[in-house]
A and B are shown apart, each in its own frame.
Chain A
Amino acid sequence: MRRALPTIAAIFVAVLLQVGLAPYMAIGGVTPNFLLLVVVTLALVEGPTPGAASGFAAGLLFDLLGTGPVGPMALVLAVTGYVAGLLHEQMFAEGWLLPLTVLAVASLAAELAYGLLLMLMGAGGPFWSSLLTIMLPGAVYNTALGLLVYPWLARFLRPDQQMKTFRRLA
């Protein structure tokens, strides 16, 4: 319970930022995904299972905030959170490069999977247009933002951990 509170708080703040701030941070129509950033960070500091659970919750909120189908982002972020958690456990890189790489890969994979699910449901756009106008720019934007957000968020989520690399970043 003690560790669940920061998780719930982080998702709550991400929802507020997604609704109140993200629309005004759009660059060329591409909006950052704060919920994805929180889910990947959670997966990296807590592991695959909490990553999947928080991914499902955050994704469901993302779906409910929009006007499209309800469920696709919940599915995508649950899988993203799980895989990001696994990836972290099986990688041995040190420093800021690891979370950044995981974030970049997770962001691109999540955007791709979400776009494909929407297409399957008849609610998405043409693949190449979506890839070039939303998926790739979105992944780059999320990764750049993650560079700023990740160290602070990870420290907030796990204040009990000694994470020497964070001192360099945050």
Chain B
Amino acid sequence: MKVANAEKQGPRPGVLLILVAVAIALITVWSREGETGPIHRLRAGVQAVTAPVSAAGEFVTRPVRGFFAWAGDLGVSRSQLEQLRQQNAQLRSRVAELEEARLENERLRGLIDLAQAREYEAVGARVIGKPANSWEGVVLINRGSDAGLKPGMPVVSAQGLLGQTIEVSPSSAKVRLITDQRSGVAAFVQRSRVEGVVRGSIEGNISLDFVSSETTVTVGDVVITSGMGGIYPKGIVIGEIAKVDTGENALYQRIEVTPASNLAGIEEVLVLVGAPEAQAPVGSTRGE
């Protein structure tokens, strides 16, 4: 297996030292330069060049992924099917109730002249790329600055909040999902109005943090954006509380949240282009 060493270049520690120094210099420049700095611009260029490759990969692998999804569904048992049917019936009835509530809400809003309530313009986009490494929860969408997108715009699906745009090139944009470890969204529990911050994690889960142990939060409560921080508008559904752990003498509760959107399978998204721009630098979105 050994290749003749005579043809190899011998060890040159000096070269390694230079490369390490350059890498450290790059890290320093990246962290100190602004959004318009040369490294950020270079990254935007790389994103613009590689976006078609991401799109091609998404397109080419679609049939294979479809096959695996189909094969996975084969494992659904009869009892699970029955359970899903019951759930479907319950949801249908719930949708009918909610529709009634929505109509009533519309009438009431009309009465008190809430027509001037904030309405954001939205741009539809398709997901054309998934995270290229294990360390980040970021997807690539096929709309960019040409469609009016800027960093710091909220991104939603039909089910709820997905994340925010962080890097934008003319024809594509990267969206940091709420499950990313660097994501933080000001939120509150819809029922009790208890406020907290929904944060992502390295495992790809989300939790509602900084909720005092003295407040009551129950499994099944819906968590929505609070509008604090200026990035996400108030009232977007984030998810549902899945688990609450109130430790003895703990200051805060440990609250796990199930995202409303299926973040692993998102295909189409809406970018709220009318929302206020992010003020925080990219890479430090925690707590908005």
Contact = CB atoms under 8 A, between A and B. Distances in A.
Interface of A: 15-16, 18-24, 26, 29-31, 33, 44-50, 52-53, 55-56, 59-72, 74-75, 78-79, 82, 85-86, 88-89, 92-96, 98-99, 114-115, 118, 121-126, 129-130, 133-134, 138, 158, 161, 163-165
B227 to A, nearest CB: 25
B23 A46 contact: no
A141 to B, nearest CB: 9
B26 A19 contact: no
Contacts of A121: 27, 31
B56 interface: yes
A28 to B, nearest CB: 9
Given A20-B53, A67-B166, A72 B27 contact: yes
B19 A53 contact: yes
A12 B203 CA distance: 30
Given A68-B136, A82-B16, A165-B1, A56 B23 contact: yes
Given A75-B20, A75-B24, A134-B202, A67 B54 contact: no
A49 B20 CA distance: 13
Contacts of A86: 11
Interface in B10-45: 10-12, 15-16, 19-20, 22-28, 30-31, 39, 42-43
Given A26-B134, A30-B134, A47-B11, A94 B27 contact: no
B129 interface: yes
A47 to B, nearest CB: 3
B57 A64 contact: no
Contacts of B78: none
Contacts, number: 184
Closest 8 CB pairs of A and B: A20-B57, A125-B202, A47-B8, A23-B130, A71-B27, A75-B23, A71-B26, A24-B61
B12 A74 contact: no
Interface string B198-223: 00011110000000000000000000
Contact of A48 (B11, B26, B54): B11
B57 A66 contact: no
Contacts of B138: 66-67
Interface string B241-258: 000000000000000000
Interface residues of B, number: 59
B11 A19 contact: no
B271 to A, nearest CB: 17
A133 B205 CA distance: 12
Q: Determine which residue in B42, B46, B174, B284 has the highest number of CB atoms from chain A within 10 A of its CB, and name it.
A: B46
A69 B27 contact: yes
Contacts of A21: 57, 61
B133 interface: yes
B19 A78 contact: yes
A163 B7 CA distance: 14
B283 A20 contact: no
A20 B182 CA distance: 24
Interface in B120-144: 129-136, 138
Contacts of B53: 16, 19-20
